[in-house]
A and B are shown apart, each in its own frame.
Chain A
């Protein structure tokens, strides 16, 4: 997760809160949150190397397949759930979203935007596109349900997920005028606070 994104998440998450990070990777975000905002954090991850990285970082981590396990964390007093760049990897993203909002009062979701112009050009070129946010080849990507910003916001509307805050980031991971003006075309990534 790059700096701007980290800073946004850092600003949104209240001090002393209890946070669960689904697909926490090496646990760096949770480590930062616990150092700077004194949160109590838990990561959920299924990749042994990333789990080890969490342990090295001193972050509490639970080995689990997210697809199988979000609902297990209901009633545990989480204030915020984080799902950074992993929603599109899940088998049932809509159900996952519903469950996450039962786990915590609020949820931070980051999303690679498949509607970005660079990716559209790739498709026009007749090839599966790749970018800094979506680097993997089609045959080895973990992404199952890629969507555009418009798609995602439509889903939120249909399911009455309230978007409390959102920030659109360009290809460099910065919040730019253009990315915020026409996000579906110019944003490479979107960050939402959903309640």
Chain B
């Protein structure tokens, strides 16, 4: 598989939905496979809340491959022998694209807590500019899970004739009240970290790692299902040799401590807040008199909506809601419900049925 990681810079000012202007921005990108001469084999994969441009393959020294490695690669679900796959880190992120922790920001006023609010449609707008950069007029498919699925949906709405297929996985057209509530608890945990300093921690050369870690631990529970946690950890006690913290009793505690720690070392607190805010405010129907049917009528692409039974963060009712509105709107849309072994995180992992659905959708005509 041909992998190409590069930072793409855009010099033109970008007006965000909030009205604020970014005076140029960078996107960290990674591509897999090769773009055909006709440039008609391109697939965009949009990352979820904490994802980034590294979607597939394993780099030297890496323990784990990219976030969608189970599905992207030579001969895999999204076959890189056939398709040119583009992944990127969205603006506001913290993995090389312009964001609150990016000290190379053109304007200092956009550092840290001063970074403007971004929205899902802002991301899609920058992804369109990225498509133009690659000379891609129309995506064969835009796909994503969770917050990535929201971007895929937004693509169909924002650029109806620039995408043929849209895969919305473990996502919704707006998140649940419970989900907003959970996001707010996570943000509050971060804000209450003594090192947060109202988001201005970079200038003080500290990082609210404790808050980030605890927020991620809470988040992680919501990404898994009760049955998955039961099967994976049960009530087994943690081996004293490998305790990450002296207070840990159970394996599940150790796991969350470890995951939280790891996350806090690589993620930025302002990005966390910004990304979850973007997720909370996503509601494309808002621009269409709060009528999702009217909103979906703008879509020309074919939709594939996949929900997972074990997902309680984005329950399947939200997938059904998009499907039912799509039927009312009379647009081409399919809905599939899979059990999923991993709760909300199921979208990240290969399963035969999941892979077949996505692969057949991507390779279907028209």
CB–CB B330/A55 < 8 A: no
- Counting chain B CB atoms within 10 Å of each CB, the highest count among A42, A57, A60, A77 belongs to A60
Measured between beta carbons, the chain A residues less than 8 angstroms from B357 are 51-52, 55
List the B side residues contacting A64 at CB < 8 Å. Answer: 337
Which chain A residues numbered 86 to 114 have a C-beta less than 8 Å away from chain B? Answer: none
Q: How large is the interface on A (under 10, 10 to 19, 20 to 34, 35 or more residues)?
A: 20 to 34
Contact (Cβ within 8 A) A62 B364: no
A51 contacts which chain B residues (CB < 8 A)?
334, 336, 357
Contact A58 B327 (CB under 8 A): no
Question: Does A72 contact B361, Cβ atoms closer than 8 Å?
Answer: no
CB of B19 closer than 8 Å to a CB of A: no
Complex CA–CA separation, A179 to B356 (angstroms): 43
Question: Do residues A62 and B353 form an inter-chain contact, with CB atoms below 8 A?
Answer: no
Please determine whether A56 and B360 come into contact, CB atoms closer than 8 angstroms. Answer: yes
Bound: A64/B364 CA distance, A: 22
Report how far A76 CA is from B328 CA in the complex, Å: 5
**Chain B residues whose CB sits within 8 angstroms of the CB of A77 once the complex forms:** 328, 330
Residue of A nearest to B352 (CB): A48
Known interface pairs A72-B324, A76-B324; A52-B332 also in contact (CB < 8 Å): no
Indicate if A175 sits at the interface (CB-CB under 8 A). Answer: no
- Encode A33-46 as 1/0 by CB contact (under 8 A) with B: 00000001010000
B365 contacts which of A40, A48, A58, A61 (Cβ < 8 Å)?
A58
Q: How far is the CA of A24 from the CA of B366 in the complex (A)?
A: 20
Judge whether B323 is part of the interface by a CB distance below 8 angstroms: yes
Q: Does B335 contact A (CB under 8 A)?
A: yes
A18-B330, A72-B324, A76-B328 in contact; A63/B360 too (CB < 8 A)? no
**Residues of chain B within 8 A of A60, CB atoms compared:** 302, 332-334
Instruction: Flag whether B136 is at the interface (Cβ < 8 A).
Output: no
Task: Report chain B residues within 8 Å CB of A48.
Answer: 353, 356
Q: Contact check, B360 vs A52: say whether CB atoms are below 8 A apart.
A: yes
Q: Does A73 contact B (CB under 8 A)?
A: yes
Cβ A40 vs Cβ B330 within 8 A = yes
Closest to B306 in A: A63
Known: A58-B365, A76-B327, A76-B328. A52 touches B334 (CB 8 A): no
Question: Which of A55, A73, A76 is B334 in contact with, Cβ under 8 Å?
Answer: A55
Provide the A45-81 mask, 1 if CB < 8 A to any CB of B, else 0. Answer: 0001001101111111111100000001100110000
- Within the complex, the shortest CB–CB distance from A76 to chain B, in Å, comes to 5
For residue B304, CB closer than 8 A to chain A, the reply is: yes
The minimal Cβ–Cβ distance linking B116 to chain A, given in whole angstroms, is 39
Complex Cα–Cα for A54 and B336 (A): 12
Q: B327 near A55 (CB under 8 angstroms)?
A: no
Q: What residues of B have a CB within 8 angstroms of the CB of A58 in the complex?
A: 302, 364-366
* Known A57-B364, A58-B366; 19 more pairs at CB < 8 Å: A18-B330, A51-B336, A51-B357, A55-B304, A55-B360, A55-B361, A56-B364, A58-B364, A58-B365, A60-B302, A60-B332, A60-B333, A61-B335, A61-B336, A62-B323, A62-B334, A62-B335, A63-B335, A72-B324
- Write 28 A-B pairs (CB below 8 A) sorted by A numbering: A40-B330, A42-B327, A48-B356, A51-B334, A51-B336, A52-B357, A54-B334, A55-B364, A56-B363, A56-B364, A58-B302, A58-B364, A59-B334, A61-B334, A61-B336, A62-B323, A62-B327, A62-B334, A62-B335, A63-B336, A63-B337, A64-B337, A73-B327, A76-B324, A76-B327, A76-B328, A77-B328, A77-B330
Q: Which A residues fall within an 8 A CB radius of B? A: 18, 40, 42, 48, 51-52, 54-64, 72-73, 76-77
